[in-house]
Amino acid sequence: MQLVCLFSHKVEAVRQICLCFLVVGLFVGFAGCAPESVPEEPKTESAASLIERLRMSAPAGFGVQKIEIKSVVQAAQAPELFTREGLESSAYYKYWRADGAAYKVRLNVYESVADLEQGWEKRFPSVSLATAEPMGDGYRGFVQRDKIAAASVDAVLIEVSASKQPDRLADFTRAYADYVEQVLASTP
């Protein structure tokens, strides 16, 4: 009787081990039969990487010593606002000069030029620009009393304000617009 009990426990253990091997074998077999994954088509540059590329390094000739990243916001972080405004991303940077003055840069990347036009009109109504001077030299933008300047390149709005009256606000804004144009030209 003891021999039969001992033998039945061994048979049960062997049966459970075989069942485990069978389940693992089936799992591996089905996994091997799964269709091969098809590589995705390369996507165009995301808004996140574009807004990062639009952060200009310290430009020569403006005395910029340090660039401070104040904020970078993607549409996914504020979908209600960004969708309503037609925005893909937005960023705010400060370009600090050695004398303590700063160029404060706000970039808005819109989904389309039409969305940028609507955003421009909201941000800078024609009435408020009565005292502004055009950027000139083929730039779409303005300068207002060396306090604020704005330009647009494709679907990107560049707004630059000055703290402590840094000189050459219009020149800095033009340099930034040129940089944005170069980045967009090199974007697939």
Whether 82 and 17 share a structural domain: no
Whether 8 and 90 share a structural domain: no
| Segments forming the whole domain that contains residue 25 | 1-39
Whether 77 and 31 share a structural domain: no
- What is the pLDDT, as a whole number, of residue 39? 40
Whether 32 and 51 share a structural domain: no
Each residue's pLDDT tens digit, 130-187: 889 999 889 999 999 888 999 999 999 999 999 887 779 999 999 999 999 999 999 8
19 versus 124: which is more confidently predicted? 124
CA–CA dist 187, 146 (Å, integer): 32
Question: How many other C-beta atoms lie within 10 A of the C-beta of residue 183?
Answer: 17
pTM beyond 0.85: the answer is no
Let me know: does 62 contact 97? Beta carbons within 8 Å. Answer: yes
Tokens 């003055």, residue located: 101
Whether 142 and 179 share a structural domain: yes
pLDDT at 32 over 70: no
Q: What is the mean pLDDT of the chain?
A: 80
- What is the pLDDT, as a whole number, of residue 170? 93
pLDDT at 16 over 60: no
The sign of the dihedral angle between the CA atoms of 29, 34, 39, 40 is negative
Whether 101 and 164 share a structural domain: yes
Whether 34 and 125 share a structural domain: no
Whether 30 and 61 share a structural domain: no
pLDDT at 127 over 80: yes
- What is the pLDDT, as a whole number, of residue 109? 96
Whether 28 and 56 share a structural domain: no
- What is the pLDDT, as a whole number, of residue 164? 82
Whether 110 and 167 share a structural domain: yes
CA 129 to each of CA 108, 122, 138, 140: distance values in angstroms, whole numbers, following the listed order: 19, 12, 18, 13
Whether 59 and 110 share a structural domain: yes
- Domain count of the chain? 2
Integer-rounded Cα radius of gyration of the chain = 30
Whether 25 and 78 share a structural domain: no
Q: Per mean pLDDT, which range of 4-18, 60-74, 150-164 is the poorest?
A: 4-18
pLDDT band at 111 (very low <50, low <70, confident <90, very high): very high
